[in-house]
Amino acid sequence: MSDYRIETKCIQSGWKPSKGEARILPIYQSTTFKYDTSEQMGDLFDLKESGYFYTRLQNPTNDFVAAKICDMEGGAAAMLTSSGQAANFYSVFNLAEAGDHIIISSALYGGTFNLLTTTIAKMGIETTVVDPEISLDDLRKEFKENTKCVLAESISNPSLVVLDFEKFATAAHEAGVPLIVDNTFPTPVNCRPFEYGVDIVTHSTTKYMDGHAVSVGGCIVDSGNFDWTKYPDKFPGLCYPDESYHGTVYTKQFGKAAYIVKATATLMRDLGSIQSPQNAFYVNLGLETLHLRMQRHCENALKVAKWLQNNENVAWVNYPGLEGDPYYERAKKYMPNGTCGVLTFGIKGGREASIKFMDSLKLIAIVTHVADTRSCVLHPASHTHRQMTDEQLLEAGVKPDLIRFSVGIENADDIIADLEQAFSSLK
């Protein structure tokens, strides 16, 4: 980890060219890499030497971008994945297998909730879903002998719950398991979960990191702080010989990088959710301006939230950066420089008025996306979360009338003018 501040890391971390090399991170558009002897190649397969041989396992472009994100988060090792979904799946499946148990917060992105309740159950992993505001004592009671990890979001999409990091980290560590946090919404520019006891961070790089809505991708970063060797029987995949790699013991051979090396060597090898180097290149371009964009996203979102709060058509507004929001104080503590550009609100007149309002917007588009430069809205109950029952929706903190508004980095007055004309269509 370098000592530079986050703005400098956004630009300078990762690719560091030496004499005569490309100033800008090259796209290694190659499936394979050349060696001179079969012994050299054999050593790579045995994990005796580090090096590239096949892009499904590792690619230099991806690794330089992962190294930048790792540095931004203050981690020890990182890897890119094909999507945020793949990142969250690998982060859990690298620790838990059939017969194991995990604990997740109910305030999660719909795709993650589905993955970690329905799909993972088909692999024989049992999940307990907890309210993120559960008391520490009640949380402690949810752990079992076979619990392998806890997963939550730093700011949940779309319910905008700011996580009580210390409570979740305390309970997880007392039970001898790591806390995994999806840090997609605040990004490491606004929040660095490792500083609050989180062990592993995941990202959908598709969102603010790319920031321009051009490439789907994900990332896993390990802090290197969780000591797997204290619980070898709980984490045999990390602490005991891996027969599929000639008896490699990841914790012994790779130390603080054990978790990421195992995920690369086994999950990426077998499941193959690699990010394309071309997409990693776009993510890297996005990262270079992430600090500037996050600042503007947050400024605009706060202006819009304040304006909505005073609008007669609006029933309620949630934005953790807005004074009076239930998560305002916690956001100030964990993300003092800002939260994210996403806010939610409900319109008086219910579902019908909401749909009419959204259809009347001109600048602000209806799209299944958040966290890019362009302002957009979505109605989760009829779009992203439509696979969930009303009960599950409410459990995930998503009201049926909730409109998710990803505030872009256009001029805030133009955004507000568009809202104003759409509201006037309701009269």
Ligand X SMILES: *Cc1c(COP(=O)(O)O)cnc(C)c1O
Interface with ligand X (CB under 6 A): 83-85, 88, 109, 111-112, 153, 157, 182, 184-185, 204, 206-207, 216, 218
Residue whose Cβ sits closest to ligand X: 84
Min separation Cβ 350 and ligand X, Å = 26
At 390, list the tokens: 């009303």
| Residue number with CB closer to ligand X (109 or 250) | 109
| Residue number with CB closer to ligand X (15 or 89) | 89
Min separation Cβ 8 and ligand X, Å = 26
Pick from 334, 399, 317, 403: nearest CA to 154: 334
Min separation Cβ 327 and ligand X, Å = 16
CB-facing half-sphere around the CA of 9: CA atoms within 13 A: 19
| Residue number with CB closer to ligand X (120 or 422) | 120
Pick from 171, 420, 412: nearest CA to 299: 412
Min separation Cβ 143 and ligand X, Å = 24
Q: Which residues contact 239 (CB under 8 A, 6 or more apart)?
A: 228, 229, 231, 232, 249, 250, 251
Pick from 210, 226, 189: nearest CA to 91: 226
Q: Strand, helix or coil at 150?
A: strand
| Residue number with CB closer to ligand X (68 or 234) | 68
| Residue number with CB closer to ligand X (85 or 266) | 85
Min separation Cβ 280 and ligand X, Å = 13
| Residue number with CB closer to ligand X (152 or 239) | 152
Give the H or E element holding residue 404: strand 403-406
Interhelix angle 277-288/60-73, nearest 10 degrees: 30
CA distance linking residue 74 with residue 144, whole number of Å: 30
Rg (alpha carbons) of the chain, rounded to whole number: 22
Q: Strand, helix or coil at 81?
A: strand
Min separation Cβ 152 and ligand X, Å = 10
- Which segments within 82-146 are labelled E, that is strand? 101-105, 126-130
Min separation Cβ 97 and ligand X, Å = 22
Q: Strand, helix or coil at 39?
A: helix
Min separation Cβ 424 and ligand X, Å = 32
| Residue number with CB closer to ligand X (85 or 223) | 85
| Residue number with CB closer to ligand X (59 or 157) | 157
* Alpha helices (H) in 234-349, listed in sequence order: 236-239, 250-254, 258-262, 269-271, 277-288, 290-309, 328-334
Cα-Cα-Cα-Cα dihedral sign, residues 236, 240, 243, 249: positive
| Residue number with CB closer to ligand X (85 or 94) | 85
Min separation Cβ 142 and ligand X, Å = 22
